[in-house]
Structure 1
Amino acid sequence: MVKMMVNRFRMSIYVGCLIAAALIYFKFWIRPDDRAVPPRIQSLTADGDEFALDGRPFRILSGSIHYFRVVPIHWSDRLAKLKAMGLNTVQTYVAWNFHESTPGRFDFTTGMRDVGRFVRAAHSLGLHVIVRPGPYICAEWEHGGLPAWLLRDKTMKLRSMHPGFIAALDRYFEALMKILAPLQRVNGGPIIAFQAENEYGNYGNDVSYVEYVAAALRRNGVTELIFTSDNHDKKPFGSLLQTINFQRDVSMNIAALRRVQPNRPLMVAEYWPGWFDHWTDSGHHGLDVDETAQTVARILDEGASINFYMFHGGTNFAFYNGADRKSGRVPYMPVVTSYDYDAPLDEAGDPTEKYRRLREILQRYVASPLPPVPPPVQKTAYASVTLNSYAELVRVSQYAPVTASRRPLPMELLSVRDGVGQAFGFALYVAQISSGVKTVGVRGVRDRAVVMIDGRPMKTIELNEKDAVLELDLKTSGESVQLAIIVENCGRLNVASGWLLHWFDSKGITGSVSIDGEEKDLTWNTFSLDFSTEYVESITKNQDVWRATPVPGDIGPILLKGELQLAGDEPSDTFVSMEGWTKGIVIVNGFNLGRYWNVGPQKTLYLPGPLLRRGTNTFVILELHKSPTPPTIKFVTEPVLGKRIAVEKW
């Protein structure tokens, strides 16, 4: 027994020595490159004539989805459909004014503002992400994403090295990159690139400014690739990677990019498969499916990477639509609420014929079979809603913030929102004037106004009609009457050129009001009606302001309220038909769906199902002119965006 134990002990020592020798051998004698080590994550590079990711050639196949135009519950659905079309990357802007409504107070975590959640949703589906943080984004978005409070500085020069602008930009990037820098690929996240500024060549030529924007990104933790994008006829800015934006003429545009940047990867940062609409347009812009498919195939055959702007447009909810005005005499043109864009995925997130054709093309450039396309989101035509309560706007305004002044002030200079002025919505200017007044002149309306005497509409000042004179014959027995002017900010410019190089798009009454031909000091009370969720909820619950319908005819700007009762399953998407209504906004459960206007082309408003709930759903409508009788809204399962018209040559 003892001998057996000794033998076992000797054997264990022998085996132990063999194991130790093996460990020493593997540690010190095997070459380092022979050892099994986990692959190192490598960033996107653009050092040669093609991109590389993890050291291997990589083609960016991307589509734009803006998180701020889609309700969060739908983000994963839209991203899954992007991947199923054959794309490997999602591109998004960051809208500065959506996150910093008051200087120094940021919101990157609430609802649609949770950009980090959007990026992580893309990552969970295996998608890469390209971020375009501005500070200017265009995007047919209010003021191109620039906060309205910048305009309180009368010396402000936007998109420049102006000290006030640079200080605000630095603060914004510092806050934003605390969210996004940890989500870069080098840190295990999905973000592979950032864009510095946006189409600056259409606006200015200050290379130092663009370089400053890129340096500010680097200072705040950006280590991934930084690029710029411009049209074919613009000069490059510094040493940053250049990309190009276009819709047609592939050979000419690709050749232009090669000339300004030889021996570097080709990237179409914005290929426009559709276009957007303005109020009063003759129809809904669209780009032919065959032309789109042929253009995309040619871009890919050139070996270029591509981003579809837009893959899914979404919606300009609330007051966030932008507006256009070009050099010369082209009028001010606000963008409609829908941002459908004739994109591969429509406003409600459904694949179109364009989506199906592009999926067939992209499959040729993707080695593995594409995942199945998720089904369309369910839609329901709910029962009609009659709005059985109303409130005059002048009455409801008493619950809004007010600014007193001797002369009318523009929105940005009103003493509201902690002293930084009003950004969106309507401003109601109210003063008492003598009943013997013969004329009232209004100069500098931006952008549209209804003038009332004692609550009775007297005149509508339309878009581009900046000066108006009202001839009054009041015939009243009182000594004074109430003059009220409600002015709508229809959307600040998102793009400008030429003489608008440093556009200063102030809103409200930016000029003056004259009485019998003279500008006089009056006691003006200006009510800020931005229809925030908090304001809408406060007046909705206030029974003192509401009266029972029927609504008096042509009473002018009024609020109407009604309810939709839902039971059973989770509510689904729908469209609100505004047939018979004139102009205003629709608010559902405190959420502003956006503007409607009977001039078209858009006739319906998209209502995502997640904004509805089981039980009581409250609709509040601001109607500026005249509602149908009785005031009723209907629900449909298909949008009405106007007759289809061809996109102009771009």
Structure 2
Amino acid sequence: MVQIENEYGSYNCDKKYLGFLRDLFKKLLGDEVALYTTDGPEENMMKCGTVEGVFPTVDFRPVPENVINQFFNLQQKYSKGGPMVNSEFYPGWFTMWGMKTGYRPTTKEVIDAMTVMYNLNASFTIYLMHGGTNYGFWNGAEPEGAIMTSYDWGAPISENGEIRPMYLAIQNWIKKFPNWDHPPMSVPKNNRVKAYGKIKVKKVKSLLKSFLTSNQKCYESVLPLSFEALDHPYGFGVLVDNLEKYSKKWISLSAKKGDILTIIVENRGRQTYLSILDSKRVLVDNLEKYSKKWISLSAKKGEILTIIVENRGRQTYLSILDSKGLLPNVTLDGRIITNWIQCPVNFDETSKIINATPSQIALLNSLEKPFSPVDKSAGVYMGAFEIEGQIADTWFNPGKFRKGQLFINGNNVGRYWPSA
């Protein structure tokens, strides 16, 4: 079986598109392959997400028996009496930043729903059976917010491979059925886990200096460019402007939904970090709540305005082009600020400050106050620990660090954000 679309009925209702996919898959794979779609168990979703010649399936979480019957009745309506199939049966759900945890049904609710489906002679796939991790900037986002750096899901097998009680309950449930073609095997031991203790870290570079020396090239434009125009799909961008023409202090930001800003105003070695929400220099909420409001900014004529934009993740659906960046412009007292220098931050590059270009050095000299390793503001902090003996699983606890990006041996592990 090959799936040609996923929950398309939640997005659009274009039968020509679905027919094109059907014909393309048949041309490439042949008529012996069974094609199917997956949609939510609602009338309009099934109506728009299905197409003639492709088997329709549904997806849903543990619900009462009468609701399961309703869902499969709807699916059979569009499958013309075909088999009942739940192609995504959810034993949990992802978690977004700002949530304590995602949807977590009880083990009993999962087993009860599986029993109902089995008694109906329905087929189902547990999604996810094994939790995962979204490394680097690959977390993605929903319309409500960005997904955290984990896809553990509350799955029967955790993201580090640990066997959970739900897994054992599912295994015991299967063992109750006689003549099962492939009875469950014995469960292996969980991976070793170990705490490596506290790690001392030292600030080695300011955040701004690290950002401006990690990229390959900065770009000049009249108005801010999107991340797409900069060919910079993920992560951070730095925008710099000299406020030579502006002398007042009210700034209006028009950034895209879900982005985060850190605003820095610099003059004569002084840096002011402006936060929209709190006094600790970190914006911890969706920008769309604030982007249409005026913000008081302690800026004077001739000072340097630097804005660090963080792309928290692109939406998984509802947006064909989820543009990121400071769009369409920034205004100061109603006047559009023009002539920007924009630097995409490339974490794949390992360039150091000693290898910075003359233009980067000049830009840094105009922006940076003298670097101090004991300064506790945003920056790059490094530490080390050694693993002796057998390798074991471990977890990172950021301690008093409120938000950041974790790298281990140069690999971007992902975002940490306990303050969210």
Report TM bin, short chain: 0.7 to 0.9
The TM-score with structure 2 as length reference comes to 0.83
Pairwise CA distance, 1:308: 0.6
**2:252 and 2:291 in contact (8 A); partners too:** no
Give the alignment partner of residue 450 of structure 1, picking from 245, 262, 286: 262
Instruction: Tell me the residue number matched to 2:242.
Output: 432
Code of the residue aligned with 1:467 in structure 2: it is K
The offset of 1:429, in angstroms, is 0.6
| Correspondence for 1:278 among 67, 84, 96 | 96
- Pairwise CA distance, 1:195: 0.3
After superposition, give the CA deviation of every residue in 1:153-192 in whole Å (9 maximum; x if it has no partner): xxxxxxxxxxxxxxxxxxxxxxxxxxxxxxxxxxxxxxxx
How many angstroms does 1:515 deviate by?
2.6
Displacement of 1:550 in angstroms is: 4.3
Q: Does 1:218 align with 2:26?
A: yes
Shift of 1:520: 3.7
Partners in 2 of 1:452 and 1:279 — Cα distance?
24
**Long gaps (5+) in structure 2:** 277-282, 365-369
Shift of 1:579: 2.7
Distance 2:296 2:127 in 1: 49
Cα 1:271–1:405 change in 2 (3 A) is same
CA gap 1:263/1:473 in 2 versus in 1, 3 angstroms: closer
Counterparts of 1:224-235 in structure 2, within 5 Å, are 224-233=33-42, 234-235=46-47
RMSD: 2.5
Do the aligned residues in 2 keep the contact of 1:389 with 1:548 (CA within 8 Å)? no
SS of alignment partner, residue 566 of structure 1 = coil
Given residue 398 of structure 1, which amino acid in structure 2 is its aligned partner? T
Q: Aligned residue for 1:598? A: 418
Q: CA deviation at 1:541?
A: 9.6
Aligned twin of 1:345: 157
**CA, structure 1 residues 470+369, in 2 after alignment: closer, same or farther (shift >3 Å)?**
closer
Cα deviation, 1:266-285, whole Å, max 9, x if unaligned, reads: 22101111111111114343
Structure 2 CA distance, aligned partners of 1:216 and 1:303?
Answer: 32
Aligned to 1:559: 380
What runs of 5+ residues in structure 1 fail to find an aligned partner? 1-192, 326-331, 415-420, 497-501, 601-650
Residue 388 (structure 2) pairs with residue 572 (structure 1): no
* Counterpart amino acid of residue 466 in structure 1: S
Q: Percent identity?
A: 25
**What does 1:106-117 correspond to in 2, within 5 Å?**
none
**Hey, what's the Cα distance between the residues in 2 that align with 1:468 and 1:539?**
38
User: Which residue of 465, 484, 498 maps to 2:306?
Assistant: 484
For residue 280 of structure 2, what is the aligned residue in structure 1? none
Structure with the greater alpha carbon radius of gyration: 1
Superposed CA offset, 1:248-268 (max 9, x none):
232111222222223422221
Secondary structure of the corresponding residue to residue 453 of structure 1 = strand
Pick 1 or 2: higher relative contact order, CA cutoff 8 A, min separation 6: 2
For the pair 1:241 / 2:49, whether they are aligned, the reply is: no
> TM-score, normalized by length of structure 1?
0.55
Please give the alpha-carbon distance, in whole angstroms, between the structure 2 residues aligned to 1:211 and 1:363.
42
Q: How far apart, CA to CA, are the structure 2 residues paired with 1:549 and 1:385? A: 20
Residue 237 of structure 1 and its aligned partner are, at CA, apart by 1.7
The 1-side partners of 2:272 and 2:14 are apart by 51
State the secondary structure of the residue aligned to 1:349: coil
User: What is the CA distance between 1:340 and its match in structure 2?
Assistant: 1.2
Q: For 1:117-164, what per-residue CA distance to the aligned partner results, in whole angstroms no more than 9, with x for missing partners?
A: xxxxxxxxxxxxxxxxxxxxxxxxxxxxxxxxxxxxxxxxxxxxxxxx
Is the Cα–Cα contact under 8 Å of residues 214 and 347 in structure 2 kept in the other structure? no
**Alpha-carbon deviation of 1:549?**
6.9
| 1:517 alignment partner, one of 318, 324, 334 | 334
The change in CA–CA distance for 1:521 and 1:548 in structure 2 (over 3 A counts) is: closer
- Residue of structure 2 in register with 1:205 after alignment: 13
| 1:169-188 pair list within 5 angstroms | none
Give the CA deviation at 1:474.
Answer: 4.7
Structure 1 Cα separation of the partners of residues 184 and 68 of structure 2: 26
What's the counterpart of residue 197 of structure 2? 383
Provide closer, same or farther for how the CA distance between residues 363 and 542 of structure 1 changes in structure 2, counting only shifts above 3 A: farther
In structure 2, relative to structure 1, the CA distance for the partners of 1:336 and 1:548 (3 Å cut) is same
Equivalent-residue separation in structure 1 for 2:22 and 2:352 (angstroms): 45
Q: Distance in 1 between matches of 2:249 and 2:384?
A: 44
> Secondary structure of the equivalent of 1:494?
coil
Amino acid at match of 1:214: R
Q: Name the counterpart of 1:422.
A: 232
- Mark the CA change 1:577 to 1:520 in structure 2 (over 3 Å): closer, same or farther: closer
Cα deviation, residue 241, structure 1: 0.9
Q: Is 1:402 the counterpart of 2:218 in the alignment?
A: yes
Cα distance change on mapping 1:473 and 1:427 into 2, 3 Å: closer
Aligned to 2:124: 306
Letter in 2 for 1:441: S
CA distance in 1: counterparts of 2:183 and 2:249, whole angstroms? 75
The alpha-carbon distance between structure 1 residues 321 and 473, as it changes in their structure 2 partners (threshold 3 A), is: closer
Q: 1:284 to 1:197 in 2, by over 3 A?
A: closer
Q: Which has the higher helix share?
A: 1
Q: 2:168 aligns with which of 348, 351, 356?
A: 356
Tell me how far apart the structure 2 counterparts of residues 589 and 549 of structure 1 sit (CA, whole Å).
24
2:59–2:89 CA contact under 8 A, matched in 1:
yes
Cα distance, 1:530–1:308 mapped onto 2, change above 3 Å: farther
